[in-house]
Amino acid sequence: MTSGDGFATYLFLLAAGFGATAPWRFVGVVLARNLDIDSELLNWVRAVSTALVAGLVARMVFFPVGALAGVGIALRLGAFGCGLLVFFAARKNLAAGVAAGIAVLLAGQYLI
């Protein structure tokens, strides 16, 4: 399927990509129609979304894909922990936390 760069391949990508993704967003728009910003239902949906993204984060750290899978779990968790620590030490500075985490991960790979 990937061999050609013709119209058919783009159609396949559109169907399997956009066609499989967009409906969820569209249904979301429709379901949100009567939801008020301050409603209890929205609080629940936000909690569901938050837990879902947190689960995604844990999956990426504990069951990584690609090159990250080649990095040991100890270094992955260590870098993650350092990022968290620096984030809080720097009064919830996002850039500082991310930079610290990535620095530990890179340094760990080159030094250990």
Partner 1 sequence: MPASPDSSGRERPGWTEGASRAQAFRRGAAFAPSTPAVVLFATFIGFGALAQATGFSAGQAVFTTLTVWALPGQVVLVDQMAKGAGLAAAAFAVTLTAIRLLPLTVSLMPLLRSSRMPRAVQFLMSHFIAVTVWIEGQRRLPALPEELRAPYFLGMASFFLVLNLIATMIGFLIAGRVPTEIAAGLLFLTPIYFLLSLISSARGPGDLMALVVGFLLGPVLFLAVPGFDLLATGLIGGTAAYLAGKRRRRT
Residues 24-83 within binding reach of partner 1 (CB under 8 A)? 24-29, 31-32, 35-38, 40, 42-68, 70-71, 76, 79-80, 83
Please say which residue, 60 or 74, places its beta carbon nearer to partner 1: 60
Please, what's the b/e burial string for 67-100 (b: 16 or more CB within 10 A of its CB; e: otherwise)? eeeeeeeeebeebbebbeebbeeeeeeeebbeeb
How many chain residues bind partner 1 (CB under 8 A)? 77
Binding mask 83-112 for partner 1 (x = CB under 8 A): xx--x----x-xx-xx--xx--xx--xx--
Nearest one of 111, 89, 90, 86 to 101, comparing CA atoms: 86
